[in-house]
Amino acid sequence: MTRTEVLAAIRKNQLIEEAVLDGIDLADADLTGGRFEGCSFRKADFSRANILKTGFRECDFSGAIFHGTDLTKANLMRMNFSSASFQGATLHETVLTRSNLAGADFAGTFISWTMMQHADLTRANFSGARFEKALLQHSKLIEADFRGADLLKVMFNGSDLSGALFKGAHFSKIFFQACILAGQDFRGARFSQVNAAKADLRGADFTGADISLSTFMEADLTGAKLARVNGQNALFKGAVLQSADLSGADLSHSFFGESNCAQADFTGAKLVNALFTEANLRAAVFARCACHYGDFSHADLTAANFTGANMYAAKLHRVIEERTNWTGALKIMLKGTDKDIAEAEDWQPPPEPNQP
């Protein structure tokens, strides 16, 4: 079929079925009311075409061009868009769930209220794109390119982001729960109010990033680099930070309860009012840290190094303190084990009287 024949069929309200339309030029065409089922549009050009009320089902758009096309509310789920180009397109309330978007190009595109769950976005290009309220849960985003992207309220829960590129990207109110993000480069990123609970962040680099108000609960940050981060009010409950570098970080008011920070380096970090209750801090380094008003109750401080740390009014209730180095530490108003609290913790209800 030619362009003319396609437009004529649409005017007659005809269903276009199983048509091979590879390479067809539909740029600037008005496809309103068109119905296409099982058609092949490989390398077709839909640039600036009007498809707001066009129906597509089980079509192949691999390599197709949608430059400047308004895809608002288009239902494009379960279709093939591999290597398609969406540069300058409008994706608002667009449905691309379970579609093949491997190698698709979304560079510089504004994507809002769009659904891409369970999609294949392997090596997709989102560089410089702007996201607002998009759903990308349980999708394959291996080696996807998000460099320089601005992401607001995007859900990546359960997605595989292995090898994805995030350099220069900024994140706000993002869900990265249970995502694979090992070795990612988040240096200097705005990573505020992000939920990365249970994420794999082993070896990730957050050097100089803003991670304030973010949650890393039960995440694996083994060997991660968090030097000089702004991490005020961050949540690391139950996280693994073994051998992580947090030197020079501002982690005031952050929560590390039940975390594993063995051999982690907090040298020079600001930990005012930080909570390390029941944390594993074996051989961790807190040299020259500002730990005033911090709470280390029930923490394991075996072989930890607090050389020159400011421990003003910090709590060390029932800590394990073996070979802990306190050389030059400021211990004014330091609070050890509270006998009354310890007695309450050890209280056991009296045995029930024997029944006759």
Residue 300 per-residue DSSP state: B
**What is the percentage of the chain residues whose pLDDT exceeds 70?**
99
Whether 356 shows a pLDDT value over 80: the answer reads: no
pLDDT of res. 352: 83
Whether 75 shows a pLDDT value over 80: the answer reads: yes
Average pLDDT for 185-207: 94
* HSE, side-chain direction, 13 A CA sphere, residue 321: 12
pLDDT of res. 351: 86
Average pLDDT for 109-125: 97
What element of type H or E holds 57?
Answer: strand 55-57
pLDDT band for position 36 (50/70/90)? very high
Check if the beta carbon of residue 61 is closer than 8 Å to that of residue 41. Answer: yes
In angstroms, rounded to a whole number, what is the distance separating the alpha carbons of residues 145 and 133?
Answer: 19
pLDDT of res. 355: 63
Average pLDDT for 188-205: 94
Average pLDDT for 18-47: 97
Whether 343 shows a pLDDT value over 90: the answer reads: no
Of 108-112, 181-185, 295-299, 348-352, the range with the lowest mean pLDDT is 348-352
In angstroms, rounded to a whole number, what is the distance separating the alpha carbons of residues 36 and 15?
Answer: 6
| Pair of tokens at residue 105 | 């190009």
Average pLDDT for 174-181: 93
Q: 49: alpha, beta or left, given left = phi > 0 and alpha = psi -120 to 50?
A: beta
pLDDT of res. 292: 94
The pLDDT tens digits for 21-34 are 999 999 999 999 99
pLDDT band for position 6 (50/70/90)? very high
| Pair of tokens at residue 70 | 């308004």
The pLDDT tens digits for 295-320 are 999 999 999 999 999 999 999 999 99
Query: 3-state DSSP call for residue 145?
Result: strand
Question: Taking all residues of the chain, what is their mean pLDDT, rounded to a whole number?
Answer: 95
Whether 354 shows a pLDDT value over 80: the answer reads: no
Average pLDDT for 39-56: 96
In angstroms, rounded to a whole number, what is the distance separating the alpha carbons of residues 86 and 67?
Answer: 5
pLDDT of res. 52: 86
The pLDDT tens digits for 129-170 are 999 999 999 999 999 999 999 999 999 999 999 899 998 899
Check if the beta carbon of residue 49 is closer than 8 Å to that of residue 24. Answer: no
In angstroms, rounded to a whole number, what is the distance separating the alpha carbons of residues 311 and 65?
Answer: 62
